[in-house]
Amino acid sequence: MKLDVLTHEVIEVAKEAGAFIRRESENFSLQDVEEKGKSDLVSYVDKETEKMLVEQLERILPEAGFITEEDTPNQLGKEYTWIIDPLDGTTNFIHGLPTYAVSIGLMQNQKMVSGVIYEINHDEVFYAWKGGGAFMNGKPIHVTKVEKIEDSLFATGFPYYQFHKLEEYMAILNELMKNCHGLRRIGSAATDMAYVACGRCEGFFEYNLNSYDIAAGVIIVQEAGGTITDFQGGDNYLFGRELVAAGPVHAEFLKVIQKYW
């Protein structure tokens, strides 16, 4: 399989899905919103976009399985599995905040080998394939060279359920706020990871994540020269529901998280 060719096919699929989302945003109403749980929202746009993506990705790689956020039955493929979030940042989309993305990752035997994140409103496509480097709109991207927290800008996400670790999370935020350039809560984990990969922030951490939130971002950050671990410094980040992604500041960043977690 030529991963570079496949990845560029996926870019076109992501752009097509993004164009649909952009059109629907013009007339979207809060009446079109469903609640999967408290503060866990979904709309027909998420569901229709997922159908489009699955149909197109099945044509590209018929033997692959799927892990998705919405209605597609999840089933691992024998070797390859697509892990997709049709609209990462649904709450932003619903409220008209213009940061949300299509996220498509390809896993081969439990390892991410290709990823595409299309941040729709800035028309920015971030992508990578194993061994090929990372790119944004055709230009190579890299994580920053910053090594110290005091020189770093970090991104994170706020929990909207499972608040049993909220005290520990707030302790981490408290220390980071006092010692770094700042913290950002963009509202789309896929976008957060893309921004780490291209150097707009030095690191990103979050817990209660799902694989489809981060799968594409994993390979993009790695190919951009970044490091990804779980909160223990291990490799159980894709399905372990917690992730730390950063450039050279990763070691110091992780120590702060581990101090309270």
Q: What is the CATH number of the domain that holds 221?
A: 3.40.190.80
* Alpha carbon separation from 42 to 47, 192, 245 (Å, rounded): 8, 20, 27
Compute the average pLDDT of residues 238-248.
Answer: 97
Q: What is the pLDDT of residue 104?
A: 98
Q: Specify whether 163 is located in the same domain as 196.
A: yes
* CA–CA dist 76, 109 (Å, integer): 10
pLDDT band at residue 32, thresholds of 50, 70 and 90? low
One domain, residues 11 and 125: yes
| 247 and 190 within one domain | yes
Residue 254 phi, psi (nearest 5): -65, -35
For residues 161 and 208, what is the distance between their CA atoms, to the nearest angstrom?
A: 8
| Average pLDDT score, the chain | 94
Same structural domain for residues 136 and 184? no
53-78 mean pLDDT: 92
Give the pLDDT mean for 91-120.
Answer: 96
Percentage of residues in the chain with pLDDT exceeding 90?
Answer: 84
Please tell me whether residues 94 and 185 are part of one structural domain: no
Residues 186 and 133 in one domain: no
Q: How many CB atoms are closer than 10 A to CB 34?
A: 11
Residues 91 and 194 in one domain: no
Tokens of 79: 């070797």
Q: State the average pLDDT over residues 69-88.
A: 91
Q: Could you tell me if 7 and 136 lie in one domain?
A: yes
Residue 43 banded pLDDT, cuts 50, 70, 90: confident
Domain span at residue 175 reads 149-260
- Domain end point (choices 80, 114, 140): 140
107-153 pLDDT, tens digit per residue, is: 999 999 999 999 999 999 999 999 999 999 999 999 999 999 999 99
Q: Domain total for the chain? A: 2
Residue 242 has pLDDT above 80, yes or no: yes
Residue 79 has pLDDT above 80, yes or no: yes
CB 20 within 8 A of CB 28: no
* Residues 69, 124 within the same domain: yes
Lowest mean pLDDT among 23-32, 55-64, 80-89, 156-165: 23-32
